[in-house]
């Protein structure tokens, strides 16, 4: 029993040491990081909520009775979380599992190999949350009709962002652990981009009721629950999926992807 506390302290110090190392690396690449997480939401907001309304004289979804910016804001936060989380884990892993086997340096730390994988998920989740929060001020200043998020349900926003960011990191771990480094770019083209467009980013899930088969099919897409959870938290005026469905779905996808990603990570490291 006397060894329990020292062992836990050693694990905590190792985990924090890995986090500190990644933060130092990130601080040296802060410019590319800001461009990576901010460019896509910035362009989407500029084109869809500033340029198009001025060209067409109104919102591209005016018939819905809700401003397109209000629909787009939580969706863009979901995109920022997903792309930042996946990129922060999958892309470095594709290098670390490469011919140089840089991953071996990390797993030599005095902690179980799984701790290294968990640290990657947690560190990527911090980047994802920063990326999502950066979208909010953009939505307040760029659109022709500014969007002011309703933050009264801050507790729901915090829960959804934490679960979503961890889920995105777990997905990045799964992709980076099972995909060959030379195919990592292809994965973004044939998996990440399609599930984003079908993730209720640019439209609420309820609006798919006219295409019933698609409304059911997208329920297997984790980004749907990220978008709908954020929509419920920051733009409650937009009809969204019930919270009692969103939160269990996020927890379920997170559990599955962490288990799947850890299994692939351990297999690649041991091999």
pLDDT at 170: 94
pLDDT at 37: 62
* Residue 35 confidence class, pLDDT cut points 50, 70, 90: low
Greater confidence (149 vs 81) lies with 81
* Residue 60: pLDDT over 60: no
* Residue 163 confidence class, pLDDT cut points 50, 70, 90: very high
* Residue 51: pLDDT over 50: no
* Residue 149: pLDDT over 60: yes
Average pLDDT, the chain: 79
pLDDT at 183: 74
* Residue 63: pLDDT over 60: no
Helix pair 68-96, 222-234: axis angle to 10 deg: 140
CB-based contact 131:84 (threshold 8 Å): yes
pLDDT at 225: 96
CB-based contact 199:78 (threshold 8 Å): yes
Instruction: Give 246-267 pLDDT, tens digit per residue.
Output: 999 999 999 999 999 999 888 8
Side-chain half-sphere exposure of 124, counting CA atoms within 13 A:
32
Q: Counting every residue, how long is the chain?
A: 271
pLDDT at 223: 92
Greater confidence (59 vs 25) lies with 25
* Residue 55: pLDDT over 60: no
* Residue 58 confidence class, pLDDT cut points 50, 70, 90: very low
Instruction: Give 179-222 pLDDT, tens digit per residue.
Output: 877 777 777 777 777 787 788 888 888 888 888 888 899 899 99
pTM of the predicted protein model: 0.79
pLDDT at 148: 77
* Residue 48: pLDDT over 70: no
Greater confidence (40 vs 243) lies with 243
């Amino acid at each position: 029993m006397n060894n329990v506390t020292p062992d836990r302290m050693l694990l905590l110090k190792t985990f924090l040491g890995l986090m500190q190392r990644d933060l130092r690396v990130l601080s040296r690449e802060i410019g590319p990081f800001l461009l990576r997480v901010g460019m896509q939401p910035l362009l989407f907001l500029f084109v869809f909520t500033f340029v198009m309304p001025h060209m067409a004289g109104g919102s591209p979804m005016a018939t819905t009775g809700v401003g397109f910016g209000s629909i787009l804001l939580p969706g863009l936060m979901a995109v920022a979380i997903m792309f930042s989380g996946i990129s922060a884990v999958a892309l470095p892993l594709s290098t670390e599992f490469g011919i140089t086997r840089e991953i071996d340096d990390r797993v030599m730390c005095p902690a179980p190999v799984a701790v290294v994988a968990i640290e990657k998920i947690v560190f990527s989740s911090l980047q994802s949350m920063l990326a999502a929060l950066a979208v909010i001020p953009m939505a307040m200043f760029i659109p022709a009709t500014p969007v002011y998020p309703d933050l009264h349900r801050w507790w729901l926003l915090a829960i959804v962002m934490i679960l979503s960011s961890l889920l995105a990191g777990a997905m990045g771990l799964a992709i980076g652990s099972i995909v060959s480094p030379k195919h990592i770019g292809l994965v973004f083209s044939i998996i990440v981009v399609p599930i984003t467009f079908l993730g209720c980013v640019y439209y609420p899930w309820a609006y798919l009721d006219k295409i019933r088969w698609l409304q059911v099919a997208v329920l297997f897409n984790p980004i749907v629950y990220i978008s709908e959870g954020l929509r419920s938290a920051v733009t409650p005026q937009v009809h969204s999926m019930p919270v009692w469905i969103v939160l269990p779905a996020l927890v379920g996808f997170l559990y599955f992807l962490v288990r799947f990603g850890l299994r692939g990570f351990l297999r690649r490291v041991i091999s």
